[in-house]
Structure 1
Amino acid sequence: MDNPISSYSPKPALVVVGWLGAAAAASGSAYLALVADRTGALLFGVAAVALAAAAAHGALVRPRLAADHDGIRVRTLTSTRQWSWPEVRVRSTTTRRLGRDVSVLEIEADELLILGALELGADPRDVLDELNALRPAY
């Protein structure tokens, strides 16, 4: 699967916003440390670390999901997992959370992976349609 037909990643603009937010929170933490507001500096520092971790994850796991006629590949921070189509079951589920419907893509192979719209950069239902179009008929 060197040249995937379809690939999905967090949107680059979202990753950039994460890095900008991390930089802003880090500078806010530094400023608050200078004016002796330790609690505020700690809170801004925690926010900076969380935003930097999320932005780094979005930048490093590109593409998060890739697919072709042979199967699918999912990247994580520690590894890349690949399955052929007969080994995998893909479905979309929708649940109601905080008053709105949230769709996720579930990939079930030897483990269960759940990918949301932020990780895919697209609506999970649309991704499922594209994956089903790639899956060969057995």
Structure 2
Amino acid sequence: MDNSRSSPHWAPSPALITLGWSAAALALAALFFSSDSRGRVLFGLAALLLAAASAHGSLVRPRLAADDQGLHVRSLHGRVHLSWTETRTRLRTTRRLGRDAETLEIENGDQLFIFSRLELGTDPRDVLDVLTALRP
């Protein structure tokens, strides 16, 4: 959780975004220095995917915020305000590749927002605890 504002908000870690941009730059450099045509295609795809993921993490900050009125979710399509009375939050645990992965699910009518640890920059369980404490 980032405490630089009065209301709690969560976003991808700046270190992770920096790492993504750096990896995209390395893949782009490898693209230009590779002599193998198949390798160039793979490096180009890697650079494109890493840059897209890093740009998403850079542009949609904060990803989730909460205040007395409700939740604010930010995506590439804009911001969505969800009031507390119409919102249901829960933690979902899924077993993948022999490891438990936790996600925070926020349901509002026919909308479902799913946040992982990477998107929130912290453990979804901690975010749920804060949201539960804020809920009127």
| TM-score tier (shorter) | over 0.9
Task: Report the CA distance between 1:87 and its aligned residue.
Answer: 1.2
SS at match of 2:122: coil
Q: Which has the larger radius of gyration?
A: 1
Q: Equivalents in 2 of 1:93, 1:84: separation in Å?
A: 21
Question: 1:15-68 deviations in whole A, cap 9, x for unaligned?
Answer: 000000000000001111xx2x11000000000000000000000000000001
Task: Report the CA distance between 1:4 and its aligned residue.
Answer: 5.7
Question: In the TM superposition, what are the counterparts of 1:50-89 in structure 2 within 5 Å?
Answer: 50-89=49-88
Moved over 4 A (4+): none
TM-score by length of structure 1 reads 0.92
Aligned residue for 1:129? 129
Task: Report the CA distance between 1:78 and its aligned residue.
Answer: 1.5
Give the conservation status (yes or no) of the 8 Å contact 1:26–1:48: yes
> May I ask how many residue pairs the two structures share in their alignment?
131
Q: Equivalents in 1 of 2:67, 2:73: separation in Å?
A: 12
Q: Equivalents in 2 of 1:77, 1:40: separation in Å?
A: 31
SS at match of 2:94: strand
Task: Report the CA distance between 1:105 and its aligned residue.
Answer: 0.3
Q: Equivalents in 2 of 1:80, 1:112: separation in Å?
A: 14
Question: 1:79-114 deviations in whole A, cap 9, x for unaligned?
Answer: 111011001101111111101110000000030111
Task: Report the CA distance between 1:74 and its aligned residue.
Answer: 0.3
Give the conservation status (yes or no) of the 8 Å contact 1:4–1:67: no
Aligned residue for 1:16? 18
User: What are the ranges of 5 or more consecutive residues in structure 2 without an aligned counterpart?
Assistant: none
Report the identity percentage: 54
Taking only aligned residues, the RMSD between alpha carbons, in angstroms, comes to: 0.9
Letter in 1 for 2:81: Q
TM-score by length of structure 2 reads 0.94
SS at match of 2:41: helix
Residue 92 to residue 4, structure 1, CA distance change in 2 (3 Å): farther
